[in-house]
């Protein structure tokens, strides 16, 4: 079984209000390899894979394979 960009487009179109392109996933903080892994797992198990959006500040940490459970980067405001 192989994942193609066409299959990804079909899966995303069926699962969301509007299809998401590669750039949108990346802007949300998902490395491309992770997107392919989620979609492959979803297709192989015939289930939905749910995750929180990591945010663009964590993309490099994810690529470097840091533990994702312990990272939550929040912006703080000062008055």
Question: pLDDT confidence of 19, banded at 50, 70, 90?
Answer: very low
Q: pTM of whole model > 0.85?
A: no
Q: Which long-range contacts (CB under 8 A, 24 or more apart) does 25-32 make?
A: 26/56, 26/59, 27/56, 28/53, 28/54, 28/55, 28/56, 29/53, 29/54, 29/55, 29/56, 29/57, 29/58, 29/59, 29/62, 30/54, 30/59, 30/62, 31/59, 31/62, 31/63
**By the 8 A CB rule, do 32 and 59 touch?**
no
For range 39-57, the mean pLDDT:
78
Look at 64 and 43; give whichever has higher pLDDT. 64
């Amino acid at each position: 079984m192989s994942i193609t960009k066409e299959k990804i487009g079909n899966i995303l179109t069926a699962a969301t209000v509007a299809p998401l392109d590669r750039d949108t996933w990346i802007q949300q903080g998902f490395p491309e390899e992770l997107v392919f892994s989620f979609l492959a797992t979803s297709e192989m198990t015939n289930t939905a894979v749910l995750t929180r959006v990591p945010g663009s500040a964590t993309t490099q940490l994810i690529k470097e394979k840091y533990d994702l459970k312990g990272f939550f980067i929040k912006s703080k405001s000062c008055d």
